[in-house]
Chain A
Amino acid sequence: MGFFDRGSTELKKAPLTKKVAKLSERVVVSTLFSASSVSVLISAAILYTLIEGSIKFFNFDEVSIWDFLFGSEWIPSGTDPSFGIYPLLSDTILIAGGTILLAGPIGIAAALFLSEYAPSKVRNVAKPVVELLAGIPSIVYGFFALFTIGPIVREIFPEATYFNALQAIIVMTFMVLPIVVSISDDSLKAVPRHMREASLAMGATKWETSIKVVIPAAASGISASVLLGVARAIGETMVVTLAAGSISGGHWNPLMEIQPMTSFIAQTATGDIPPGTPQAEAAFAVGITLFIMTYFVNRIAGRVVLRIKKGSIVKKEPSRVQKFIRKNTIDRIRKPVEITKEMISYRPIRIDRSIKFIDKTKLKGNLIRRKIKGYFGVSTTVLSLVLAFVFLIYLLVEVFIKGAGSISWDFLTSEPGFRVTEASIMPALTGSVFLMLLTLLFAVPLGVGTAVYFNEIAKDTWYTRFLRNVIQNLAGVPSIVFGLVGLAIFVRLFNFGPSLLAGSMTLALMIMPIIVVSSEEALKSVPQSFRDAARGVGATRWQTVRDHVLPNAVPGIITGSILSLSRAIGETAPILFIGAFFAKTAPSGVMDSFVALPLTIFFWSRHAQDEYHEFASGAILVLLVILLIMNAIAIFIRYRSQKRRVW
């Protein structure tokens, strides 16, 4: 920093000044440029991992691509293994399809209520509460599915097995609900008011207007929200691994045990699968299939979402070229023709009102029926939202009741022993804290640097557009795929081993795109006039950013970074291959092995002894409290900066 400061004032008169300033400027700009290009490296790492692993897999004699694609059996172990992806694929579709079948209607209904019916006070409270569902780590959902929803499912369907698809589907419904709700709500809100008024003015009820005009007009955005929900459900790992079982099915029976793709990959991380066998490498081939699926679903959805953000969901704005062509062809030639046609064919005629089609005697009954329909409809939307609240409260209360008992000073701080009574989360707690700090160290500079480069330095070129695309795609990569990348790149290729360093770098890859997005939002909220003023008095691009833009964007950047770190600390799947479940001590260096809270929760949830399930709830409680504190800090910072804001 001092380097630049000197350049700006003291040396002003020296002839060299200009060059010094230019040099420093160039150094900074190229640093930012490199930061933004790291996303390309990350993407390359993902592709390398998946492709290299898959090649290894298909090179085994027992394996053939043909069988993989078209075989109908998935028996990865034993003397006569068989690797047909079909059962894993069908289980994935069963899970994702079932989830969206529930989350779609519930989410759209809740969004309709929020957008069309909720008074702004209710809306302001309800929206963040729904978002809370997205902040709960998936391992917590998995735990809840297995130990709370599971018994209920088996009560209702006695034929259901202990692990089954249904309990995972029920819980995942609420996991993907915030995505469906928030994007549907955005697109419903984007429907212009005059459309609603046109319908209401004809004597349509509000409900009829919602169903017949508003929803069709927002259809593209709503379908995007559903697609994003599907992508999320396809990529979800921990819930299915914990609650849905580990026997690949292909039977399409939600009451039985299944194994979707993500769950198989997770299993290779946790089972005792000998490395170097086809069974171990199969994870990469499954990973690439998963990656391709989510990639395409996300891409289609992403395009639509982008269009909504640009505000053209109803009518696509013609491009400048199209407008030019239209002006010079259609408008010049066709319009006069049309207008002449209009003039010739137009003749007002005498209106005869004696012809009536509407039977006035039936109108009253008709209106009553329509009103009742409306009441039912609106009640359904309210109910959908209430359902989400009930679920959230139920989950939190359950975790609290189950977990509060196991929390003690020893549970938090002592070194764990081998007996049940000596369980402690101390290694996991410290592991998580270290992991978070290291992740912050890697992800924040990269993410913020990228955001600054995009928003302040770069011009709109094919390369920046390409980078944006890359980052958007990264944000949609399932977390278990990052797990594979961490294993292949950091643990094996870079030889970091299963260490804190490898773990935090993996998590950093995953949250980098999120930090970019939130930092860019913070930068965008700084008024353009600040930049113009600074540039106007002769500041360089970077000086402008450093002195006028960044200081004003810092609260937003911090808020966004904290929120993405809280996402990282709750993640299980990316570090599933790296963490050491049996770590008994806190890590003391970056190359040490480690265990983190979500991993401990996962491990204890699968433990045969019931006591450990209670410890798992205790650990969940601790994890949720940490997340709560982080979120509270983020909200506090945002609130304070908004209060101080003078523009």
Chain B
Amino acid sequence: MVFGFLSSGNNKKGKERKKLHDSSGNNGKRSSNDIILKDINIFYSGKQAIKDVDMTIPEKKVTAFIGPSGCGKSTLLRNINRMNDEIVGCTYDGEILWQGTDILEKKVDPVALRRRIGMVFQKPNPFPKTIFDNIAYGPKLLGIRNKKKLKEIVEKSLRDAALWNEVKDRLNDSAMGLSGGQQQRLCIARALAVEPDVILMDEPCSALDPIATAKIEDLINELKKEYTVVIVTHNMQQASRISDFTGFMYLGELIEFGKTRQIFENPKEDLTERYITGRFG
């Protein structure tokens, strides 16, 4: 197990512990495609929800956030594509470095950012439109009007989300008629259609049955070969099955971050161990 000591040089209180398990993927090699979170603090109307989080999310790997309800997993995830900008009263500081820029800077346009860092939500949320229009929504915004091209995009996105075979003869039906699992894969396809590099998923399987969940997990396994995936999950088995790296969060802090096997088999922190073994107060 290799640890990269990547923390920036600042010496805030409480930094020491984090340095220990601050880890990067790719065997310690830094890539500009890694997402590097530095000193992230997030507040809702002044109330702190995330405290001093530092971590490096490696490129083309699955990184999972786990932790008890309300610990701030979603909040942290939503900052990575600046969805928190849309919440009145939500403020943040710190840096998120990605491809050489701090994406939290004011001059970075969240609209452009979100095309490249897509998101899938807990509850499948297709638009009340046809399957085709759901997928074509993003490409159309980007100025693609050509019918043939749109069709190709829709097909490829649905294929990549492993949904094509199930819906290919009902592309013009309402997306609301799909099963929950299909809807969620549609949402993934919709996100893929604008050709992002990173996909954030907030408990994508929590509203699904085991069969549908298994499919999404399979899909994530495929996706990570080409995309950087960050997933929030409540389900420890899921985290251990699909993720390469895991961050355990508690009360707004990142308690431990490391390779999934290490976190699950050999946690450094007492809190982590208690959470993972289900002995949590």
Which residues of A are found within 8 Å of B142, using beta-carbon distances? Answer: 203, 358, 363, 366
Shortest C-beta distance, A122 to chain B (Å), equals 12
Asked if A217 is an interface residue, CB under 8 A from chain B, the answer is yes
Asked if B223 is an interface residue, CB under 8 A from chain A, the answer is yes
A315-B176 contact given A202-B191, A342-B166, A357-B144, CB 8 Å threshold: yes
Please state if B223 and A339 are interface contacts (CB–CB under 8 Å).
no
List CB contacts (< 8 Å) of B178-213 with chain A.
179, 181-182, 187, 190-191, 194-195, 211-212
Which residues of A are found within 8 Å of B195, using beta-carbon distances? Answer: 353, 356-358
Which residues of B are found within 8 Å of A353, using beta-carbon distances? Answer: 195, 226
**Between-chain CB contacts (< 8 Å), 30 pairs:** A197-B125, A200-B83, A201-B81, A201-B114, A201-B119, A202-B114, A202-B191, A203-B112, A203-B115, A203-B142, A203-B194, A204-B111, A205-B111, A208-B141, A314-B128, A342-B182, A346-B165, A346-B166, A347-B165, A348-B221, A349-B222, A351-B160, A351-B226, A353-B195, A356-B195, A357-B144, A357-B153, A358-B142, A363-B115, A370-B111
Shortest C-beta distance, A274 to chain B (Å), equals 60
Shortest C-beta distance, B76 to chain A (Å), equals 15
Please state if A120 and B88 are interface contacts (CB–CB under 8 Å).
yes
Please state if B179 and A343 are interface contacts (CB–CB under 8 Å).
no
In this complex, how many residues of chain A approach chain B with their Cβ under 8 Å: the count is 46
Shortest C-beta distance, A335 to chain B (Å), equals 8
Asked if A644 is an interface residue, CB under 8 A from chain B, the answer is no
Shortest C-beta distance, B93 to chain A (Å), equals 22
What 0/1 pattern do residues 336 to 377 of A give for CB contact below 8 A with B?
Answer: 001101110111111101011110001100110111000000
The binding surface of chain B is classed by DSSP as: helix
Please state if A342 and B179 are interface contacts (CB–CB under 8 Å).
yes
**For residue A357, which residue of chain B has the nearest CB?**
B153
Please state if B159 and A367 are interface contacts (CB–CB under 8 Å).
no
7 tightest A-B contacts by CB?
Answer: A203-B115, A201-B119, A345-B165, A203-B114, A194-B125, A198-B125, A366-B143
Asked if A585 is an interface residue, CB under 8 A from chain B, the answer is no
Which residues of B are found within 8 Å of A358, using beta-carbon distances? Answer: 139, 142, 144, 194-195
Which residues of A are found within 8 Å of B30, using beta-carbon distances? Answer: none
- A633 to B25: give the CA distance in the assembly, Å: 68
List CB contacts (< 8 Å) of B92-145 with chain A.
109, 111-116, 118-119, 121, 123, 125-129, 137-139, 141-144
Which residues of A are found within 8 Å of B83, using beta-carbon distances? Answer: 197, 200-201
Asked if B40 is an interface residue, CB under 8 A from chain A, the answer is no
Asked if B162 is an interface residue, CB under 8 A from chain A, the answer is yes
Please state if A346 and B139 are interface contacts (CB–CB under 8 Å).
no
Which residues of A are found within 8 Å of B144, using beta-carbon distances? Answer: 357-358
Please state if A203 and B138 are interface contacts (CB–CB under 8 Å).
yes
User: Inter-chain contact count A-B, CB under 8 Å?
Assistant: 133
Please state if B127 and A199 are interface contacts (CB–CB under 8 Å).
yes
**For residue B190, which residue of chain A has the nearest CB?**
A202
Residues in chain A within 8 A of chain B (CB atoms): 119-120, 194-205, 208, 212-213, 216-217, 314-315, 335, 338-339, 341-343, 345-351, 353, 355-358, 362-363, 366-367, 369-371
Which residues of A are found within 8 Å of B212, using beta-carbon distances? Answer: 342
Q: A203-B118, A203-B194 are in contact. List 8 more A-B contacts (CB 8 A).
A: A201-B191, A202-B138, A339-B211, A350-B222, A358-B195, A363-B112, A369-B143, A370-B111
Please state if B152 and A357 are interface contacts (CB–CB under 8 Å).
yes
- A216 to B142: give the CA distance in the assembly, Å: 20
Please state if A200 and B165 are interface contacts (CB–CB under 8 Å).
no
- A302 to B181: give the CA distance in the assembly, Å: 36
**For residue A342, which residue of chain B has the nearest CB?**
B166
Which residues of A are found within 8 Å of B152, using beta-carbon distances? Answer: 357
Please state if A355 and B156 are interface contacts (CB–CB under 8 Å).
yes
Shortest C-beta distance, A216 to chain B (Å), equals 7
Asked if B86 is an interface residue, CB under 8 A from chain A, the answer is yes
Asked if B215 is an interface residue, CB under 8 A from chain A, the answer is yes
Which residues of B are found within 8 Å of A212, using beta-carbon distances? Answer: 137
Shortest C-beta distance, B192 to chain A (Å), equals 8
Please state if B222 and A194 are interface contacts (CB–CB under 8 Å).
no
**For residue B123, which residue of chain A has the nearest CB?**
A194
- A202 to B193: give the CA distance in the assembly, Å: 9
Shortest C-beta distance, B130 to chain A (Å), equals 12
**For residue A365, which residue of chain B has the nearest CB?**
B143
- A351 to B188: give the CA distance in the assembly, Å: 13
Shortest C-beta distance, B158 to chain A (Å), equals 11
**For residue B163, which residue of chain A has the nearest CB?**
A346
Asked if B149 is an interface residue, CB under 8 A from chain A, the answer is yes
A342-B194 contact given A203-B111, A353-B226, CB 8 Å threshold: no
Which residues of A are found within 8 Å of B219, using beta-carbon distances? Answer: 348
Please state if A202 and B194 are interface contacts (CB–CB under 8 Å).
yes
Asked if B225 is an interface residue, CB under 8 A from chain A, the answer is yes
Shortest C-beta distance, A356 to chain B (Å), equals 6
Which residues of B are found within 8 Å of A201, using beta-carbon distances? Answer: 81, 83, 114, 118-119, 121, 191
Shortest C-beta distance, B122 to chain A (Å), equals 9
Residue from A217, A346, A362 with most neighbouring chain B CB atoms (10 Å): A346
**For residue B162, which residue of chain A has the nearest CB?**
A348
- A119 to B89: give the CA distance in the assembly, Å: 11
Which residues of B are found within 8 Å of A315, using beta-carbon distances? Answer: 128, 176
Please state if A204 and B141 are interface contacts (CB–CB under 8 Å).
yes
- A354 to B2: give the CA distance in the assembly, Å: 32
- A198 to B221: give the CA distance in the assembly, Å: 23
